[in-house]
Each structure stands twice: as C-alpha cells, then as structure tokens.
C-alpha cells in the first residue's frame, strides 16, 4: 500500500536549499525586467498609463503561462538541473533584450520623431514587437517558482510550509527588484546595462546550481558568461536614441532626456521626444514658440487708470514669478529679459534636467532664477501664506505627460493662495488645430477658482498640432483690460512685449468654460489627451 503522504515521483535535487537562492533571484529579476522595460520603451513610446497597462498586462499574461507550464514540466521531469538550465536560458534572453530591441526601436523613432509624418501602423507594430521581446524571458521566469516548489516538496505534510517559504522568498526578491533598478541601477548605469546586470545575476545563480547538481559535467555552461559579457559590451555602445545633432543624453530617475543642436538653437527633448521642452537661441531673445506667449500673461490683469482716464498698464510691472516646469529655463529667461531681474522660483522635478539647463541652456547667466528640484505642487503648498507671486506659470504639460495633480481644482486653489491680489496664472496646454478638449477642460477647471479666464492661441500656420495659453486673473477682468494694456505699450521701450502682445491680440478671447472639471478625485486627463491624439491620427 502506497503512503499517501509521500511524493510518488521522486525529485532529483542534490541541494534543495539552493532553490531558495534561485527563487529569490528569479523574483528580483522578474520585477527588475518589468520596470527596466518601461524605461527602455520610454524614449520611443513614452510612459503614459497606456504603455504601463500594456506592459503590466503582457508580463502578467506570460507569467501566468509560465506558472502553468512550470507545474506541468516539473511533474513530468522533476530534475533540478533542468530548472537551472531554464533559468540560464531566461538569463540569456534577458541579456538579449536591449540588443535585439535596438533596430526595432530605431525604426519606431523614424515615425515618432515627426508627428506630421506619423505612421500609426509602424508605431503600433513596433510597440507590439518590443513588448513581445519580454514574453519569452518572462515566461521562463514564471516557470521557476512552481518548478522549485515541486522539487522542494518531499512530503505532502510539509508542502504548505515549503510553498509558503518559496513564495515569500520570490515576493521578497520582487520587492527588491522593484526598488533597486529604479532607485539605483537605471540612474547609475542606464536601462541597457541594467538588463545585462540582471541577466548576469540570474546566470551566476543558475550556473552555481548546475555545478552543484551536475559537478564538472556542467562546466561547459560557464562559457555563457563570456557571451553575456559580450552582450554587455554591445549594449553599452552608442547612444540610447541616436539623433543628428545630439549633444547629450541621460537617463535619470524621472526621464530619458536629450539635448539636441539644431542650427543655432539648442533643444531639450524628453522621453519619446514628441514635443520640445525648452529652446535656447543665442542670437534671439524670443524662442519662436509657445513660451513667448507667457510674456503677455500680466497684461490680462486690470490696468491702472492714468491721468487721461484711460486704463492701461504700460509699464508691464511684474514683481515676482513662480514657474512649474522650469526645464531648460526658457520662460524664466524670457521674463528676465523683458521684465528685468525679478525674483523667479522655478520648480523642476528632475535635478538632472536642472543640471542640463545649467550646462547647455545658460541658466547660470540668470542669477535671479532660483531653480528648485521639487514637485511643483508640493513645493508651492509648503510655502508660507505670505509668499505670493505676481505671475504663476505652469509649463509642465506635454501630452501624454500631463500630471493630473497639476490640472485640478485643488491645485489651482493652492495657486490662488499664493498669487498677489492682482496676480495672474498662465498654463500651457496642447491641442490640435481644431480640438480644444484639453484647453476647455483646463479653462473650466480654472473657472471654478478664478473669476476670469482667457485663451490665447499659438499660431499653427503650417502645423496640425499646437498650443494655447490659458490665463486666469485673481480679480474680475474683461478682454478690454488686456486690449488696453497691450495698446498702452511703447514698442520703443518694450519691443519684445509689444511684439508678443500684437500676436496675442489676434486670438485672445474669453475661454470656453463648459469643459470637464478636473478634481483630485476625478481627472480623466489620459482619456482627454488620448482622444485628441486618436482624432488627430484618424483625421490625418
């Protein structure tokens, strides 16, 4: 009579305790690969919620298949050596990810760099192909835990304890794999070498396991280590995203960023590079972009009444400024050139972007600008109540990277609490030529906090995509106040401001405040932006 508490098919494992090390390492590598994959895709597809959903969904799907397959294989061939070979194969495939992905990523870049020539089929196809790169290594990693449990269980009476221990170790490894790549490895060595380091860690553990199980007969497997070293060298060569005129690129805790030279101009591009985040032109004070329109924001405040009885703030006085989204410092430099060396606090979440601004965008030439490496909302909320600004500018919206917490009623209430009595707030919002969904939502939201809201459009002549400036005032104002202030400017005294006021007058209008109102609880930013992009692509 067979003892039902014993496993019928005896497992072949010489060192069952070493399975603990393998399971922990596999858990670490699984989450490490997933999070590093997001950064690998970032320069081409961005890091929007859609990309994360696709990536997480794919990983979970292939892990599920791996769990199922691992259980079946383990029951048929419960051999520890086979498990270590599977882990070694997974390590090799992880090491291949950055090398195999490079040509596909470069093809995707051709379509994403210029949305005017966008090929939806190529971009979507490339995205699917890149995501599929992670399927086989993820599947093999999924095999490890159920296979290891089968090998470690020798008595049904202790199976629950064994399974619990191994799953705990796997989860602890995953926990470590969540933080180490993001906080340490990617900022220090980049995404590509992070893949190789993860692969190397798994390969070393798998090789040790093979040597423990098979002894010298497993020694030839060690030849894979030089192969991994070769892949590491190949992965580290060249730019992450090659581009003509590339001066500098980096992978920080928050962004993949590029500094690119285009003729006399220096550009700052983030992540997939759809939009420019800063422009520096050594021979021109104006940027020839939406940033120039921020200059007219103070003119929407009610002007002072002169001796002739006419309103008009001809001096364009601005006492201070707070800028959310400093980037390379384009807006801060414009305000300094036009309004003088006023105190400007500029919040930029990424300290490496601030460093790039100092090195490539001449930010240090403007000592009145105080660059703060912090979240723009949190920093402003932490300031004392008497810290108030004449102008608060938000230049942190670049689809699909619109942090919803910088677009809600609650955020604009914080802004209101730190504006001077006659202050203004100006927001840069993206749109297509005739789709103002995001602009209208922001205007409606700001209208819940401020009495008067206006919109000024950047010229989109020759382009299908553009930007608008949404401006709100602390005091009730009218469009006539802006027109009077603009008319009172002396072009001889304020040529740049007069030039921009002349451009803004053409499209300045009261905002449509019937759009969706965004709150901290409900801010469907992604749906709004994706709708704009989808309608644009279908229209194209």
> pTM of whole model > 0.85?
no
Name 35's Cβ contacts closer than 8 Å, sequence gap at least 6: 177, 178, 181, 182
Whether 244 maps to a domain, the answer reads no
Q: Which of 166-180, 298-312, 405-419 has the lowest mean pLDDT?
A: 298-312
| Residue-level pLDDT at 462 | 59
Find the mean pLDDT for residues 169-198: 90
Tens digits of residue pLDDT in 144-180:
999 999 998 877 777 888 889 999 999 999 999 999 9
Whether 162 maps to a domain, the answer reads yes
Q: Residue 193's pLDDT band (boundaries 50, 70, 90)?
A: confident
Last residue in a domain, options 175, 208, 235: 235
Q: Which of 277-281, 310-314, 356-360 has the lowest mean pLDDT?
A: 310-314
Alpha-carbon distances of 301 from 475, 486, 499, rounded to whole Å: 7, 11, 18
Whether 240 maps to a domain, the answer reads no
**CATH number reported for the structural domain that contains residue 455 in this entry:** 3.40.50.150
Same domain? For 173 and 303 the reply is no
Same domain? For 51 and 149 the reply is yes
Find the mean pLDDT for residues 268-293: 80
Same domain? For 202 and 137 the reply is yes
Give the chain's domain count: 2
Answer for the pair 230, 258: CB distance below 8 angstroms, yes or no.
no
Structure tokens at 180: 């180490």
Whether 13 maps to a domain, the answer reads no
Q: Residue 1's pLDDT band (boundaries 50, 70, 90)?
A: very low
Radius of gyration, CA atoms only, the chain: 29
Long-range contacts of 522-525 (CB under 8 A, 24+ apart): 523/404, 523/405, 523/407, 523/408, 525/402, 525/404, 525/407, 525/438
Q: From CA 338, how far away is CA 498, in angstroms rounded?
A: 10
How buried is 226 (Cβ within 10 angstroms: 0-12 exposed, 13-18 middle, 19+ buried)? exposed
Question: Which one, of 305, 300, 346, 403, lies nearest residue 49 by Cα?
Answer: 403
Alpha-carbon distances of 349 from 188, 325, 375, 477, rounded to whole Å: 18, 8, 5, 33
| Residue-level pLDDT at 522 | 86
**CATH number reported for the structural domain that contains residue 170 in this entry:** 1.20.1250
Answer for the pair 457, 436: CB distance below 8 angstroms, yes or no.
no
Same domain? For 220 and 326 the reply is no
Same domain? For 330 and 207 the reply is no
DSSP lists the bridge partners of residue 279 as: 267
Same domain? For 86 and 150 the reply is yes
Structure tokens at 125: 């196809």
Same domain? For 231 and 290 the reply is no
Last residue in a domain, options 207, 235, 263: 235
Please give the DSSP secondary-structure letter assigned to residue 301. S
What percent of the chain stands above pLDDT 70? 80
Find the mean pLDDT for residues 255-260: 84
Range of the domain at 401: 286-539
Answer for the pair 94, 18: CB distance below 8 angstroms, yes or no.
no
Question: Is pLDDT above 50 for 216?
Answer: yes
Whether 4 maps to a domain, the answer reads no
Q: Which residue has the tokens 């959903």?
A: 53
Helix, strand or coil, per DSSP, at residue 68? helix
Question: Is pLDDT above 50 for 363?
Answer: yes
- Cis before residue 400, ω within 30 degrees of 0? yes
Q: From CA 500, how far away is CA 126, in angstroms rounded?
A: 41
Tens digits of residue pLDDT in 82-123:
999 999 999 989 988 887 777 766 665 555 444 444 444 444
Q: How many CB atoms lie within 10 A of CB 179?
A: 13
Q: Which residue has the higher pLDDT, 184 or 112?
A: 184
Alpha-carbon distances of 25 from 93, 95, 172, 193, rounded to whole Å: 16, 15, 9, 18
φ, ψ dihedrals at 47, nearest 5°: -125, 40
Last residue in a domain, options 235, 262, 278: 235
Same domain? For 223 and 339 the reply is no
| Greatest mean pLDDT among 157-166, 183-192, 332-341 | 332-341
How buried is 71 (Cβ within 10 angstroms: 0-12 exposed, 13-18 middle, 19+ buried)? middle
What is the residue-averaged pLDDT of the chain?
83
| Residue-level pLDDT at 240 | 62
Same domain? For 184 and 310 the reply is no
Q: Which residue has the higher pLDDT, 347 or 227?
A: 347
Give the burial string for 345-355 (b: 16+ CB within 10 Å, else e).
bbbbbbebbbb
Q: Residue 125's pLDDT band (boundaries 50, 70, 90)?
A: low
Give DSSP secondary structure letters for 474-503: SS---HHHHHHHHHT--TTT-HHHHHHHHH
Q: From CA 477, how far away is CA 438, in angstroms rounded?
A: 23
Give DSSP secondary structure letters for 337-367: HHH-S--EEEE-S-HHHHHHHHHHS-GGG-T
Sign, CA dihedral 371-375-380-384, equals negative
Question: Is pLDDT above 90 for 6?
Answer: no
Same domain? For 297 and 429 the reply is yes
Whether 203 maps to a domain, the answer reads yes
Same domain? For 355 and 426 the reply is yes
Tens digits of residue pLDDT in 63-82:
999 999 999 999 999 999 89
Tens digits of residue pLDDT in 469-514:
999 999 999 999 999 999 999 898 889 999 999 999 999 999 998 8
Answer for the pair 80, 14: CB distance below 8 angstroms, yes or no.
yes
Whether 280 maps to a domain, the answer reads no
Same domain? For 291 and 226 the reply is no
Whether 262 maps to a domain, the answer reads no
Helix, strand or coil, per DSSP, at residue 274? coil
């Amino acid at each position: 009579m067979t003892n039902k508490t014993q496993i019928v098919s005896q497992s072949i494992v010489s060192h069952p305790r070493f399975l603990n090390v393998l399971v922990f390492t596999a858990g670490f590598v699984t989450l490490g690969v997933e999070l590093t994959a997001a950064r690998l895709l970032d320069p081409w597809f961005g890091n929007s919620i859609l990309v994360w959903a696709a990536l997480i969904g794919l990983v979970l799907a292939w892990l599920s298949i791996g769990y199922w397959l691992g259980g079946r294989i383990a029951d048929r061939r419960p051999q520890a050596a086979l498990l270590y070979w599977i882990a070694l194969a997974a390590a090799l495939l992880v090491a291949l990810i950055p090398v195999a992905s490079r040509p596909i990523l470069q093809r995707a870049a051709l379509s994403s760099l210029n949305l005017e020539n966008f090929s939806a089929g190529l971009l979507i196809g490339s995205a699917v192909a890149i995501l599929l790169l992670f399927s086989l290594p993820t599947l093999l990693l999924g095999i490890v835990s159920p296979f290891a449990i089968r090998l470690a269980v020798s008595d049904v009476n202790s199976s629950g304890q064994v399974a619990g221990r191994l799953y705990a170790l796997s989860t602890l490894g995953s926990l470590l794999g969540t933080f180490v790549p993001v906080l340490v490895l990617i900022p220090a060595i980049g995404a590509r070498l992070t893949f190789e380091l993860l692969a190397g860690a798994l390969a070393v553990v798998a090789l040790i396991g093979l040597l423990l199980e098979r002894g010298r007969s497993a020694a030839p497997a060690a030849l894979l280590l030089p192969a991994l070293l070769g892949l590491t060298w190949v992965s580290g060569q060249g730019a992450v995203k090659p581009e003509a005129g590339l001066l500098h690129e980096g992978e920080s805790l928050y962004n993949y960023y590029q500094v690119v030279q285009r003729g006399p101009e220096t550009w700052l591009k983030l992540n997939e590079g759809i939009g420019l985040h800063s422009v520096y032109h050594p021979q021109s004070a104006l940027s020839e972009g939406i940033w120039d329109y921020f200059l007219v924001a103070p003119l929407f405040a009610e002007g002072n009444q002169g001796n002739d009885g006419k309103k008009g703030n001809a001096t364009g006085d601005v006492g201070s400024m707070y800028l959310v989204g400093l980037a390379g410092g384009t807006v801060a430099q414009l305000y300094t050139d036009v309004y003088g060396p006023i105190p400007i606090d500029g919040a930029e979440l990424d300290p490496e972007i601030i460093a790039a601004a100092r090195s490539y965008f001449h930010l240090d030439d403007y000592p009145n600008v105080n660059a703060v490496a912090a979240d723009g909302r949190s920093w402003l909320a932490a300031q004392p109540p008497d810290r108030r600004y004449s102008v608060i500018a938000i230049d942190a919206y670049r689809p699909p990277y619109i942090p919803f917490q910088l677009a809600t009623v609650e955020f604009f209430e914080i802004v209101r609490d730190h504006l001077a009595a006659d202050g203004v707030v100006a927001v840069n919002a993206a749109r297509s030529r005739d789709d103002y969904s995001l602009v209208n939502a922001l205007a409606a939201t700001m209208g819940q906090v401020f009495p008067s809201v206006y919109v000024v459009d950047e010229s989109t002549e020759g382009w299908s995509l553009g930007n608008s400036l949404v401006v709100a005032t602390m005091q009730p104002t009218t469009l006539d106040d802006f027109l009077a202030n603009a008319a009172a400017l002396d072009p001889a005294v304020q040529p740049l401001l007069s030039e921009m006021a002349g451009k803004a007058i053409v499209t300045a209008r009261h905002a449509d405040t019937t759009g969706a109102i965004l709150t901290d609880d409900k801010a469907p930013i992604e749906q709004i932006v994706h709708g704009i992009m989808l309608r644009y692509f279908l229209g194209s």
